[in-house]
Amino acid sequence: MDTFVEQIVAKRKGGKEWAIIFGSLLLCVLILIFAVPFLFTSFLSILAAALIVGLGYGEWWLITSQNVEYEYSVTNGDIDVDQIIARRKRKRIVSVVGNKLEVLEPYNAASYASRPFDRKVVAAPSEQEEGLWCFTYRSKKSGHTLVVFQPERRVLDALLIGLPALVQRETKKKLAGLPQDKREAQDEDGGDAGDSPADSGEN
């Protein structure tokens, strides 16, 4: 039976994204100050109006392009990671079969800082978030790759079935001390709360 689990996380805007947003808004204001007077001249009014409309669309497109999400999809132990921009453009940035993963563990930035990688992918809200995990793998196209992400427990459990035996054992040890997802815990609490009085009074 096929297993499929997916999760979406939103990237937090950093200094670069906010600089693009505010910088582009400032540029728009300056262009509008220059263009608006031409709306009242018969010769250039159409051109000025077209410029303002185009500027508004371009600014909307640029600002919304700073809204980035990452989607983790795990199918039978293999993982794909897509980058979604403004919910209108999707790009696959990671696709790897589970048995190629060399490690799957909680991410410690300090321990990985001195390790060389050909490619590093941060598919998480930020690299300073809590609950980050990482995995590494090798491919002919990208070389030695490090992927940092923020999976829920159900995503990690789905990944387990595809891991090499040794990696699977080590990952299970790391998972043993982790709490369940909030949703899973709530489901269990709801089930306990729904026990009938008769059940609780059994001898």
Question: Is pLDDT above 90 for 67?
Answer: yes
Instruction: Quick: pLDDT tens for 110-136.
Output: 999 889 999 999 999 999 899 999 999
Residue 202 lies in a domain: no
Q: Do 156 and 81 reside in the same domain of the chain?
A: yes
Residue 81 lies in a domain: yes
Whole-prediction pTM value? 0.77
Residue 113 lies in a domain: yes
Which contiguous run of DSSP H or E holds residue 24?
Answer: helix 15-35
Q: Do 47 and 121 reside in the same domain of the chain?
A: no
Q: Which two tokens stand for residue 73?
A: 């999809």
Q: How many domains does the chain have?
A: 2
3-state DSSP assignment of residue 66? coil
Q: Do 40 and 77 reside in the same domain of the chain?
A: no
Domain that holds residue 55: 11-64
Instruction: Quick: pLDDT tens for 9-27.
Output: 999 988 888 999 999 999 8
Q: Do 166 and 77 reside in the same domain of the chain?
A: yes
Q: Do 108 and 156 reside in the same domain of the chain?
A: yes
Question: What angle do the packed helices 153-160 and 165-176 form, to 10 degrees?
Answer: 150
